[in-house]
A and B are shown apart, each in its own frame.
Chain A
Amino acid sequence: MPCMTLDSTALAKVARDLSGQGRRLVLPVREGPELFYREGADPEALDLATIPKNSVKEFFFPKCDTILKYRYTGSEVEVEDVTPPVEPTVIFGARPCDAASLSVVEPLWNWDYKDKFFNLRRENTLIVTYACRRAPEEACFCVSVGVSPSSEDGADVLLLPLDEARVAVKFLTDAGREVQAVFEAYKTGEADDAALQAFAEEGTVSLSHRKKLDKVQGWLDKHFEDPLWEEKTFQCIGCGTCTFLCPTCHCFDIQDESVFDGGSRLKSWDGCQFSLFTLHTSGHNPRNVQPQRYRQRILHKYGIYPSKFGKILCTGCGRCVSHCPVNLSLYDVVATAQERAEKGE
């Protein structure tokens, strides 16, 4: 069934119109040499050249979130439950790996506790995904973990840039169909299934050098104590860059901050790569050297999370590879594990 196309120059106008309907607008814009998803930016600044440095995670799981407030009144404490400040939002130009990350983490935020801080934001956000014609960065490996450059996962509307001028538009969900009229106002033509197929193939082919990482979980089960961990992780300096830029990493710390007669309880990002992450009150730290912490990262993403929730905790966005200050490539580590598993090692 053919779908509509519009001119790529109309995208900024569509973004403006969607925000004009009463939505907070988040879109990728250029800051210096890099792109960042930013809220409140001018739609004319929309830049879809490549994958932004930050992920969309911060719009669903902010780096610092107030979860309750309290006040001391005499010898009592009044607790005020906080509802996160949520407004209808549109993320215009999310990459497929970012959109897909939302359905990867959604089971976690709804596991034993229904996290309203994530859910309210998710329910009120419209995702307009901008598919990748070809992998935008050298570090991309979405196909290795079951995502693809034209993945529909997590998207309400999918934009497929068929060429320099034409963008095909698919409306995938009810929420997406509700805004169909906004896009149709700029319709210039149609594209058939063959064109969309060719587009999807071009994307997949651009990543044909990437291994499918389907044997990593099995390998991890048998190689907890493997020299691989020390061999591969010397250069890691234990900063939080990979964990904080990752769209699927979700560890957090909770702190109460008080002033005078009351305060708030804050939920902030935390990371397993920090040296004190597993420090016990006794003083013992079961992961007190970096190879152990890095092993934990891989194990969680490619072993434990899939066992629990049936999905790899990774969408292959490649940020951990591109922005690691010491060029430690997570893909390189898991691909090595995959290779060894394939050889039966």
Chain B
Amino acid sequence: MEEARQEHGNNGAAWEPRIVAFICNWCTYTGADLAGTSRMKYPPNVRVIKIPCTGRFDPLFMIKAFERGADGVLVSGCHPGDCHYAAGNYNARRKFTVFRKLLEFLGVDMERVWFSWISASEGGKWVDTITRFTETIREKGPFAEYREMIDVG
């Protein structure tokens, strides 16, 4: 585990949590933007991937993120009832329900997979969520066991 914390790609620097956040354009992304314009401080570990709506989210995104080095994945969008496309987040909610149970059944640590509804005005909630998530992952360490399951003979 300690070796993983000194992994390549960091130029020998100590490991920092890599958070990937799939966030919807209309609510959470705007909320994050608000946090920025308000000069609110939060850990820089998050990499944001903007999707038009959480309804666009596909579990493959999460798998790919873990394969490529994410230590934690957040998916966030508009509150139920506020979806810009009316029902995208309702469909997404069902996908989340099913997929997280599958991950849990496989033994993936559920604390590495977070879901949230963050609206365009909730810059503070964005900051709070990212901060708490980053701290959680920092304590857990890298998700090396997923990324490194590639040993071939």
Contacts and interface: CB of A to CB of B under 8 A. Distances in A.
Contact of B152 (A62, A259, A260, A261): A62
Interface string B112-151: 0000000000000000000000000000000000000000
B68 interface: yes
A66 B69 contact: no
A65 interface: yes
A259 B68 contact: yes
A62 B68 CA distance: 25
Interface in A77-117: 84-85
A64 B152 contact: yes
Contacts of A66: 152
B122 to A, nearest CB: 33
Nearest to B152: A64
Interface of B: 9, 68-69, 152-153
Contact of B153 (A85, A259, A261): A85
Nearest to B67: A259
What size tier do the contact residues of chain A reach? 10 to 19
A266 interface: yes
A62 B69 CA distance: 26
Given A259-B68, A259-B69, A64 B153 contact: yes
B9 A65 contact: no
Nearest to B147: A259
A65 B152 CA distance: 6
A259 B69 CA distance: 9
B143 to A, nearest CB: 14
A66 B153 CA distance: 8
A65 B153 contact: yes
Contacts of B152: 62, 64-66, 266
Nearest to A267: B152
A64 B152 CA distance: 6
Interface in A257-272: 259-261, 266
A260 B9 contact: yes
B71 to A, nearest CB: 15
Nearest to B68: A259
Contacts of B153: 62, 64-65, 84-85
B46 to A, nearest CB: 18
Interface in A42-65: 62, 64-65
Contacts of A62: 152-153
A35 to B, nearest CB: 21
Contacts of A65: 152-153
15 contacts: A62-B152, A62-B153, A64-B152, A64-B153, A65-B152, A65-B153, A66-B152, A84-B153, A85-B153, A259-B68, A259-B69, A260-B9, A260-B69, A261-B9, A266-B152
Nearest to A86: B153
A32 to B, nearest CB: 21
Contacts of A259: 68-69
Contacts of A64: 152-153
